Amino acid sequence: MTVYRKTAPEDDALRMVFSINGAATYQLRPGDRYNFALGAGSYELGYQMGMGNCSDPVQIDAGGNYVFKLGSGCAIVLESQ
């Protein structure tokens, strides 16, 4: 699984911390990618950027190669699986 940060230029100075099930996992700078493995199941993916917290429930199936884009305005977008 991969998440990557694609935020608007005005948000580049803000710190983005990616989380899984509410636990801070990785800090992403503009353009950064984070690759990791999750077993099949239900998860809450999210991020904190500036004063905002965003999250979205996702269902992960075995054998999928998921790519999520994390963007400005609480965007957590599945791009491929």
63 pLDDT above the threshold of 90:
no
Q: What is the pTM of this model?
A: 0.92
Q: Which fold has domain 2-80?
A: Immunoglobulin-like (2.60.40)
Average pLDDT, the chain: 95
- Residue 55: what are its φ and ψ, rounded to 5°? -155, 160
Percentage with pLDDT > 70 across the chain: 100
At residue 32, the 3 state secondary structure works out as coil
Q: DSSP letters of 20-69?
A: ETTEEEEEE-TT-EEE----SEEEEEEEEETTEEEEEEEEE-TT---EEE
pLDDT at 50: 87
Mean pLDDT along residues 7-31 = 95
